[in-house]
Structure 1
Amino acid sequence: MWARWVLAVYLIGFLEGSCVHILDVARDGIHAYASFPQVPLQVFFVSLAILDPLVAVLVGLVRREGVWLASAVMATDVFANWWGNRHWLQDDPARLVWLSPITFFGLFVVAFLLPLHRTVARTASSPQTAPAA
């Protein structure tokens, strides 16, 4: 049962991220993240308009690949946000509050990587269609 709740939180988080990144790119195109001076960060954040929905689909289908991709995306996303905002954090430490939701969600996703992967893998090898806990 716990795995269903964890997958639901993953799904909600990645659907929210999908909406944010898709709307940003729809509004401002490939320059949506021009406020970040590092081009690799800009490219990464634009790519989240594709990666976040992909993770949501794979997690919604209860695929092991979705669990791994979710962790990779969130680890990179948290790192990119902290790296890209480091100068603002030095100038105004109160901005830590702004990074808290993505950081906590990223920690949640990574913390459940192995237990969720094991549960989903067991489910995939059994005739059930949803993970049991």
Structure 2
Amino acid sequence: MVRGPGMWGDLPRRARWVAAGYVVGFAEGFCSHAYSLWTGGIHAYGRDPVLIQVLFHAMLVFDALAVVLIIRASPAGPPLAAAAMLADASANWWTQAPDMARHPLRYLVPFGLLPITLFGVFVLVTAIPLYQTIAARRPAADQASRQLA
């Protein structure tokens, strides 16, 4: 059976699990940033520096784009995901570092900085292998779609 471009069927099982983890994580990030915007408006991150506020609002777009690109199995997905997580995790650490230095145990909870950090490490460790897997299958998928046309 020939699968069209963007299908995960011809990806190895490990790559499908990694991609599914990306989709879940970035969808959750999108929902989190959307909720913040919905409940707090444009000043939802008002205590943070302006550039960080802009980044957190831009993450709404980057998270959604990462989900779409990963679902489509686009080679652009993993690099975008890695850049987005690096920016998001760095900004969160930047804004929360002073409080974390004073109260480190407060951050050992299943929301906030801990899952952002863990997901960021997961994305950064798996982005290159996932990119290589998706990119390696791309020429075969393009050739198959040309043969069907």
TM-score after normalising by structure 1: 0.90
CA contact (8 A) 1:11 1:59 kept: yes
1:103 corresponds in structure 2 to 117
Aligned partner of 2:135 in structure 1 is 121
Q: Does 1:112 align with 2:123?
A: no
Using the TM superposition, give the Cα deviation of residue 35 of structure 1 relative to its aligned residue in structure 2, in angstroms: 2.4
1:34 aligns with 2:34: no
Q: Which amino acid aligns with 2:32?
A: V
Q: Could you say which residue in structure 2 is the equivalent of 1:19?
A: 31
Deviations 1:22-61 (A, max 9, x none): 111122221011122x111111111111111111111111
Distance (whole Å) between structure 2 residues aligned to residue 91 and residue 42 of structure 1: 23
Gaps spanning 5+ residues in structure 1: where? Answer: none
The answer to whether residue 75 in structure 2 is matched with residue 64 in structure 1 is yes
Question: In structure 1, what is the Cα distance between the partners aligned to 2:30 and 2:63?
Answer: 5
4+ residue runs of structure 1 moved beyond 2 angstroms? none
Cα distance in 2, alignment partners of residues 25 and 96 from structure 1? 23
| Residue aligning to 1:48 | 59
Amino acid at match of 1:2: R
Total equivalences in the alignment: 128
Q: Scaled by the length of structure 2, what TM-score is found? A: 0.81
Secondary structure at the aligned position of 2:76 is classed as: helix
Q: Which residue identity lines up with residue 35 of structure 1 in the other structure?
A: R
Q: What amino acid maps onto 1:122 in structure 2?
A: A
**Which is higher, the Rg of structure 1 or of structure 2?**
2
Q: Secondary structure at the match of 2:28?
A: helix
